[in-house]
Amino acid sequence: MIRDFIRKIGAMNIVMLLVVISIIIVSEYLFVTGNKLDAIFIAFWAPTILGFMNYFKQ
């Protein structure tokens, strides 16, 4: 089941999605600890990476 999912999505896409999830977690941590501007700056990376993934997939 997991191997079929990896073959369907692609290994590199899964790695990039894990990177996006980790960026969101780091951003949330920074926001909670009080570094709100840094958190907002880092939070913009996630949709940017997802946008590049969609662009290069075409």
pLDDT tens column, 40-55:
999 999 999 889 888 8
Residue extents of the structural domains in the chain: 2-57
pLDDT digits (tens, 9 = 90+) for 6-46: 788 788 888 888 999 999 999 999 999 999 999 999 999 99
The full DSSP string for 1-56 is -HHHHHHHH-HHHHHHHHHHHHHHHHHHHHHHHT-HHHHHHHHTHHHHHHHHHHHH
Query: What pLDDT does 57 receive?
Result: 78
